[in-house]
């Protein structure tokens, strides 16, 4: 247990957050702790002088949007503190539901949860030079066992096994952090995010490239909304089928595409071609995506 003396002193200023670097696989070694990567909005809770402010990742004040969380933060029994974490909403399976989060901010405040994973300041003390595990020990003592503010539990030991459990649970991924690391604003290698892949069937709107060259498919969701691009990694027979489809059933460029996509020299397709796409979970747009199969919908 970390011993801590609590002096007075408000602290309300926003601090640019520490950001993880994307890694292909979990790190090895015992110097890391591992947490679930929550699919929500990165948020900083600043308490001081009898007030609570909730800041977005870019420093915008969303205190009114998160008024329930701020009200609970004022009951933590501190004179001043800055907590780093993620605002989420839990779906029907108990997993973070990013799509539901957007509407819940305005229609269901009571469902919002702030998952705290770091403590930057406490009662006038700057904790950012302390080791992560020391900061988290203070944070765990501070956060109640239930309610809209929760503590992000960590795992120590086999990072690969933890990642496999996260993947099987259908979660977005994990974050590995150096146990003795200091808090440094910006993107750093002391925090690594390892994301899980998922697959889904998406509409193929068009293709950028030519046969025999590196090509990308332009994709939309089931409602026709553009979601991004994917590298075409089809086996030979499927690749031939794709190019035959491009030639035999051309189409017009769909409406509502981003301006940069509208400028692409693409072969647009008539509706109906469905692609099986592998991509990183929990991203607003497709990322590290590959087109693995095509069929007529």
Buried b (16+ CB within 10 A) or exposed e, 66-86: bebbbebbeeeebbbbbbbbb
Residue extent(s) of CATH 3.30.470.30 domains in the chain: 18-195
pLDDT at 144 over 70: yes
The reported pTM is 0.79
- pLDDT band for 210, please (50, 70, 90 cuts): confident
- pLDDT band for 99, please (50, 70, 90 cuts): confident
pLDDT at 5 over 70: no
| Non-local CB neighbours of 243 within 8 Å, separated by 6+ positions | 211
Are the CB atoms for 154 and 33 separated by under 8 Å? yes
Highest-confidence segment of 4-8, 272-276, 284-288: 272-276
pLDDT at 27 over 60: yes
pLDDT at 110 over 70: yes
pLDDT at 185 over 60: yes
- pLDDT band for 3, please (50, 70, 90 cuts): very low
Summarize the confidence of residues 85-112 as an average pLDDT.
85
Summarize the confidence of residues 135-142 as an average pLDDT.
97
pLDDT at 69 over 80: yes
CATH fold group of domain 197-296 = OB fold (Dihydrolipoamide Acetyltransferase, E2P) (2.40.50)
Secondary structure (3-state) at 290: strand
pLDDT at 230 (0 to 100): 96
Residue extent(s) of CATH 2.40.50.140 domains in the chain: 197-296
In this structure, the strands spanning 41-48 and 51-56 are antiparallel
pLDDT at 6 (0 to 100): 42
Summarize the confidence of residues 196-219 as an average pLDDT.
90
pLDDT at 282 (0 to 100): 79
The highest-level CATH class for domain 18-195 is: alpha beta
Share of residues in the chain with pLDDT > 90 (%): 75
CA-wise closest residue to 204 among 260, 267, 258, 263: 267
pLDDT at 98 (0 to 100): 82
CA-wise closest residue to 194 among 56, 7, 29, 35: 35
Q: What is the DSSP string of 152-214?
A: ---B-S-HHHHHHHHHHTT--EEEEEETT----SEEEEEEEEEEPEEEEEEEEEEEES-TTS-
Catalytic sites, residue numbers:
37
Secondary structure (3-state) at 70: helix
* pLDDT, the chain, mean: 91
Q: Please provide the size of the chain in residues.
A: 297
- pLDDT band for 102, please (50, 70, 90 cuts): confident
Q: How far is 15 from 189, CA to CA, in rounded Å?
A: 19
pLDDT at 264 over 80: yes
Backbone angles phi, psi at 274, to 5 degrees: -115, 135
Summarize the confidence of residues 75-103 as an average pLDDT.
88
pLDDT at 2 (0 to 100): 41
Highest-confidence segment of 30-34, 143-147, 234-238: 30-34
pLDDT at 11 over 60: no
pLDDT at 8 over 60: no
Q: For 147-174, what is each residue's pLDDT tens digit?
A: 999 999 999 989 999 999 999 998 999 9
């Amino acid at each position: 247990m970390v011993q801590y003396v609590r002096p007075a002193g408000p602290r309300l200023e926003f601090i640019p957050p520490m950001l993880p670097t994307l890694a292909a696989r979990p790190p090895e070694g015992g110097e890391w702790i591992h947490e679930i990567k929550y699919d929500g909005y990165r948020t900083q809770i600043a308490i001081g002088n009898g007030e609570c402010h909730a800041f977005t990742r870019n420093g915008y004040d969303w205190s009114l949007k998160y008024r329930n969380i701020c009200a609970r933060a004022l009951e933590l029994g501190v004179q001043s503190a800055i907590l780093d974490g993620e605002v989420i909403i839990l779906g029907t399976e108990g997993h973070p539901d990013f799509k539901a989060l957007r509407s819940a901010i305005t229609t269901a405040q009571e469902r919002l949860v702030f998952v705290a994973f770091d403590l930057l300041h406490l009662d006038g003390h700057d904790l950012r030079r302390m080791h992560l595990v020391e900061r988290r020990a203070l944070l765990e003592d501070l956060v109640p066992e239930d309610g809209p503010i929760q503590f992000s539990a960590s795992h120590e030991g086999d990072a690969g096994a933890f990642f496999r459990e996260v993947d099987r649970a259908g979660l977005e991924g994990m974050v590995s952090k150096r146990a003795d690391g200091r808090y440094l604003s910006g993107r750093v290698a002391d925090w690594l995010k390892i994301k899980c892949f998922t697959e889904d069937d998406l509409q193929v709107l068009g293709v950028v490239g030519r046969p025999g060259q590196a090509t990308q498919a332009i994709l939309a969701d089931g409602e026709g909304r553009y979601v991004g691009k994917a590298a075409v990694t089809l086996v030979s027979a499927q690749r031939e089928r794709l190019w035959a489809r491009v030639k035999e059933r051309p189409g017009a460029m769909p409406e509502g595409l981003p301006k940069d996509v509208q400028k692409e020299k693409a072969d647009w397709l008539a509706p109906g071609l469905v692609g099986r796409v592998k991509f990183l979970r929990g991203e607003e747009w497709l990322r590290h995506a590959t087109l693995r199969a095509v069929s007529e919908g």
